[in-house]
């Protein structure tokens, strides 16, 4: 029994170290503070965010729900309510090891609609278009339109940046409303990670997969260019073949013509 109490502090230290390691490099919990991602995410949901893959150079992909740091002024001057010194102390301790979100960090959560190299747009009464392909968006909050309250584009997303939108389109101050700063795009360096699962409350537990509309053929900018590139590649041999035939024909005709005598030859 005595050895247990001697080992307990060591076990606690190891547990805290592992929790801190997991929070820093693997997974971190975040709380949903608003309604901007309804119905996919509800206010008060706790999501687990994958922080590991960005360490291996992975960048956000279309359709993923990501957490990112405020790019600058998106959140405005929001004031945090004091919940008392005891509650704040507990939250700071738990957020330090990744079991609760930090009340001090200014992070947002949105869905990636377009990535670097994409062209994105949306007209009033229409669908969101990515590289000329319309998105079928069943995740949009019921009764909302894709962009009627804030049409935009076309906007070319620079490399290393993403265009993000909330699922509750009429209650989300997303990329559409911050086009005065980098055309509304967010740097991938500001992305904390991808939200992969709703962990709390228990009755809301579910994963957050990429919707099938983002898997449609020809959606990527590279794929959109592929038909014209393939057409050029296919036409090039034909053009060269016709050119060689023309040159050969000219040479043949020139060789069969009789030479004219000049005064000097006579």
* Catalytic center residues: 36, 110
Residues across the chain:
266
Among 167, 57, 185, smallest CA distance to 119 is for 185
Q: What count of other Cβ atoms lies within 10 Å of the Cβ of residue 262? A: 7
Angle 213-218-223 from CA coordinates, rounded to 5°? 140
Strand 107-115 with 161-165, pairing: antiparallel
Q: Is 98 left (phi over 0), alpha (psi -120 to 50) or beta?
A: left
Question: What letter would DSSP give residue 56?
Answer: G
DSSP string, 174-221: -GGGGTTTGGG-EEGGGEEEEEEEEEESGGG-EE-PPPGGGGSTT-SH
Among 26, 22, 118, smallest CA distance to 63 is for 118
């Amino acid at each position: 029994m005595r050895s247990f109490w001697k080992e307990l502090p060591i076990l606690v230290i190891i547990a805290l170290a592992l929790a801190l390691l997991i929070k820093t490099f693997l997974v971190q919990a975040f709380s949903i503070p608003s309604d901007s991602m309804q119905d996919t995410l509800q206010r008060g949901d706790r999501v687990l965010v994958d922080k590991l893959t960005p360490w291996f150079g992975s960048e956000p992909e279309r359709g993923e729900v990501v957490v990112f740091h405020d790019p600058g002024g998106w959140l405005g001057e929001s004031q945090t309510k004091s919940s008392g010194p005891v509650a704040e102390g507990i939250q700071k301790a738990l957020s330090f090891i990744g079991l609760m979100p930090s009340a001090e960090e200014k992070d947002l959560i949105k869905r990636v609609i377009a990535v670097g190299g994409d062209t994105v747009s949306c007209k009033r009464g229409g669908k969101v278009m990515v590289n000329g392909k319309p998105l079928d968006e069943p995740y949009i909050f019921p009764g909302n339109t894709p962009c009627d309250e804030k049409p935009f584009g076309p906007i070319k997303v620079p490399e290393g940046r993403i265009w993000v939108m909330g699922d509750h389109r009429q209650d989300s101050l997303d990329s559409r409303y911050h086009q005065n700063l980098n055309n509304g795009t967010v740097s991938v360096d500001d992305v904390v990670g991808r939200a992969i699962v709703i962990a709390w409350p228990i009755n809301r537990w579910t994963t957050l997969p990429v919707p099938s509309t983002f898997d449609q053929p020809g959606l990527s900018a590279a794929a959109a260019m592929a038909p014209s590139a393939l057409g050029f590649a296919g036409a090039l041999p034909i053009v060269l073949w016709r050119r060689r035939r023309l040159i050969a024909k000219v040479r043949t005709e020139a060789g069969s013509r009789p030479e004219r005598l000049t005064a000097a030859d006579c």
